[in-house]
Amino acid sequence: MLNNKSILITGGTGSFGKKMTQIILKNYKPEKLIIFSRDELKQYEMAQKWNEKDYPCIRYFIGDVRDKERLIRAFNGIDFVIHAAALKQVPAAEYNPTEAILTNVNGAINVIDAALANNVKKVIALSTDKACNPINLYGATKLCSDKLFIAANVYSGYDKDTIFSIVRYGNVLGSRGSVVPFFIKIAPSGILTITDPKMTRFLITLDQGVHFVINAIEICKGGEIFVPKISVSKITDLAKAIGPDCKQEIIGIRPGEKIHELLIGEDEGRMANEYKDCYVIRSSDMIKRFGDGITGKRCTNGFIYSSGSSKNVLSVEEIKSLIKDNLNSENKNSRSNWDLSDVYSNK
């Protein structure tokens, strides 16, 4: 799907963007792979590893998703856009709300306009569990972003060249916002701070997240929110896996933090279908458009997808193995076992 295509990643110097770059360059032969971000130092550091001499397809573009004119120029000739740029830190968004809105909401509008102006074939926007029933500003801006990308299919007309879809998942192991590197950093002190012992989190590795996005690019028809079926960890078990001899100190829940992660709420559950490896939430407009052509098992009334009610809970040893695999993934030509072939298969 990605061979001989031109691909652009917004926020391409972040954790996800770097992992996506690694996997694309190892497994595919794109015509162009453009890393679009506003940090020239991070681009310089990436270019030391993936330079244009050894990887002729790669390009580095300085730019900000707040700048629509720059996006329009950057999207020229692009087939697929993966929109990963966002302000993601919950406390920072609470303290700087207008900045979060400018990047996460206005930036989404600019990506949509630039994609339509250039007839980009597919746009996949990365969402977050915090967009589902949001209780903090970051989550609210990502919910707004999700709604914008879904609505973009309506005013692009579906029969136009550009379609927009979303991938939503939870805590990513090893990303800058993950608790895992924080626990690893403070474990030598002998104390791991826990906000609430009842807390649970979905866990997905960067490799798994990237491969899920690639699968979604291949099959999306526009208007879907793809949600992978992923494992869950109790925060206390995660702490035991990282610092088995550490004391766990309870410090209390932080503002804007949830006890359990929610990837599909009850209201969205009415629009969701279940498949082997994922759930797909479709807009009412998309359901009307496809009608009986939608496959999968319709989720029951009252369905939610929460880390607090999931039965796929990892043991301490399984968490250790997952963290080890994630830390060693840089040296592996990783492949995902996601199978989304049933999402649009014939009944």
Q: Specify if 256 maps to a domain.
A: no
pLDDT, tens only, 181-209? 889 899 999 999 999 999 999 999 999 99
Q: Is the pLDDT of residue 178 over 60?
A: yes
Residue 53 belongs to some domain of the structure: yes
Q: pLDDT value at position 306?
A: 96
Residue 293 within a domain: yes
Q: What is the pLDDT of residues 69-98, one digit of tens each?
A: 999 999 999 999 999 999 998 889 999 999
In a domain, 332, yes or no: no
In a domain, 15, yes or no: yes
Whether pLDDT at 41 is above 60? yes
> Once rounded to an integer, what is the mean pLDDT over residues 150-177?
82
**Cβ contact 168:132 at 8 Å:** yes
- Grade residue 159 by pLDDT with cuts at 50, 70 and 90: low
94-131 pLDDT per residue, tens: 999 999 999 999 999 999 999 999 999 999 999 999 99
Residue 162 falls within a domain, yes or no?
A: yes
Q: Which domain range does residue 165 map to?
A: 6-171+205-228+263-304
d(CA 83, CA 85): 6
pLDDT tens-digit series, residues 255-311: 778 899 999 999 999 999 999 999 999 988 888 877 766 788 999 999 999 999 999
pLDDT at residue number 156: 65
160 pLDDT band (50/70/90 cuts)?
low
Structural domains in the chain (count):
1
**CATH number of the domain enclosing 289:** 3.40.50.720
Which pLDDT band holds residue 217 (cuts at 50, 70, 90)? very high
Q: Is residue 313 part of a domain?
A: no
pLDDT at 150: 95
Catalytically active residues, by annotation = 130
111 within domain boundaries: yes
Q: How many whole angstroms separate alpha carbon 150 and alpha carbon 271? A: 13
What average pLDDT does this structure show over 325-336?
A: 62
Mean pLDDT in residue range 29-35: 98
CA–CA dist 226, 219 (Å, integer)? 11
Instruction: Specify the pLDDT at position 347.
Output: 46
Is the pLDDT at 12 greater than 60? The verdict is yes
Mean pLDDT of all residues in the chain? Answer: 91
